[in-house]
């Protein structure tokens, strides 16, 4: 079992805020639209199935889901969305990946570059930091719904290869090919899950302090608040006491 990552905690709190103001709806609708390009049947399209599960988790109306799928398959207009991954460095040298879904690439590139430069970072070339991450299935389980032993006993046989303590949640990591099987075994055992995605997980973490820590949090907020940004991944970590001080 691996240790606790403050980055995952920060993302979780940010996601909760986004959900309250409806921003998660926009992001999930874009993800459904993009995923549906590879087929509108969720049974044969794992990415679409995951996106629809995320939509249901935030109580998105079925009609919204249906229309997003139809835009992706071309049955409705409005599916011309481009998916792009930007790379860069934040304060203190933290690596940052920014996944966007946009209908105007030039505008978005300019906006993301500005967010980096304004908050003490800089955009990099393609491939400059992506090697520091690996594509993994990332599933979170509420900490009060299962113990470490309970989870370990069922997820390993389903293909999971790591379990991390994320404070008030458990983070289950697997090869993307095992994503569905891990979700199914959790459901079979009556264990609820949340934030089940295929994510870019950092191989190692870099600890930030002082101005670098506060600057990185500002950069994170600026990127996450952009309408075209689907997700932000980074390898930074912040000490618990430092994080509490910065949040006051």
How confident is the model over 152-178, as pLDDT tens digits?
Answer: 989 998 999 999 887 788 999 999 989
pLDDT tens for 69-127 read 999 998 888 768 889 999 999 999 999 999 999 989 999 999 999 999 999 999 999 99
Q: Rounded CA gap, 206 and 110, in Å?
A: 27
Query: What values do phi and psi take at 95, rounded to 5?
Result: -80, 140
Neighbours of 104 (CB within 10 A): 11
pLDDT digits (tens, 9 = 90+) for 224-242: 889 899 989 999 988 777 7
Say how far apart CA 60 and CA 153 lie, in whole Å: 33
| Long-range residue pairs from 60-64, CB within 8 A, at least 24 positions apart, any chain | 60/25, 60/28, 60/29, 64/25, 64/29
Indicate left, alpha or beta for 190 from its phi (over 0: left) and psi (-120 to 50: alpha): left
Give percent of the chain above pLDDT 70. Answer: 89
Rounded-to-integer distance, Cα 189 and Cα 247, Å: 37
The two three-digit tokens of residue 114, written as one number: 């500005």
CATH number corresponding to 83-131+205-238: 3.30.70.980
CATH 3.30.70.980 location in the chain: 83-131+205-238, 132-202
The DSSP output letter for 234 is E
Average the pLDDT over 123-145 and give the result. 92
**For residue 65, what are its two tokens?**
């889901």
Residue range 39-79, pLDDT digits in tens: 999 888 888 888 898 888 788 899 999 999 999 998 888 76
- Nearest residue to 194 (alpha-carbon basis) of 19, 1, 2, 65: 19
Q: What is the pTM of this model?
A: 0.82
CATH ID of 132-202, from 2.30.42.10, 3.30.70.980, 3.40.50.2000, 3.40.50.300: 3.30.70.980
How far is the C-alpha of 50 from the C-alpha of 187, rounded, in Å?
14
pLDDT at 16 over 70: no
CB-based contacts of 17, cutoff 8 Å, min separation 6:
none
Token pair 């905690």: residue: 9
Q: Identify the pLDDT of residue 3.
A: 37
- Of all residues in the chain, the percent with pLDDT exceeding 90 is 50
Q: Give residue 20's pLDDT.
A: 47
Task: Compute the Cα dihedral for 69, 226, 99, 237 and give only its sign.
Answer: negative
Domain range 6-73, CATH class: mainly alpha
Mean pLDDT of 23-38: 88
Pinpoint the residues of the chain covered by CATH 1.10.10.200: 6-73
């Amino acid at each position: 079992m691996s240790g606790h990552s403050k980055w995952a905690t920060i993302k979780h709190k940010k996601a909760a805020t986004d959900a309250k103001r409806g921003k998660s709806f926009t992001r999930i609708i874009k993800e459904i639209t993009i995923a549906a390009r590879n087929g509108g049947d969720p049974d044969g399209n794992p990415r679409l199935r995951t996106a629809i599960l995320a939509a249901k988790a935030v109580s998105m109306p079925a009609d919204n889901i249906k229309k997003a799928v139809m835009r992706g398959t071309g049955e409705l207009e409005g599916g011309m969305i481009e998916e792009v991954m930007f790379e860069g460095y934040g304060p203190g040298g933290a690596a940052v990946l920014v996944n966007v879904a946009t209908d105007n690439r030039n505008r978005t590139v300019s906006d993301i570059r500005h967010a980096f430069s304004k908050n003490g970072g800089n955009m990099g070339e393609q491939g400059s930091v992506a090697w520091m991450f690996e594509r993994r299935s990332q599933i979170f389980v509420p900490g009060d719904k299962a113990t470490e032993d309970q989870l370990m006993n069922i997820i390993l046989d389903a293909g999971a290869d790591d379990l991390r303590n994320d404070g008030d949640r458990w983070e289950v990591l697997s090869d993307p090919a095992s994503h569905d099987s891990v979700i199914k075994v959790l459901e079979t055992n009556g264990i609820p899950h949340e934030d089940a995605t295929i994510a870019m997980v950092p191989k190692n973490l870099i600890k930030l302090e002082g101005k670098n820590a506060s600057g990185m949090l500002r950069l994170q907020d600026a990127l996450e608040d952009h309408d075209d940004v689907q997700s932000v991944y980074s390898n930074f970590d912040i000490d618990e006491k430092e994080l509490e001080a910065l949040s006051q």
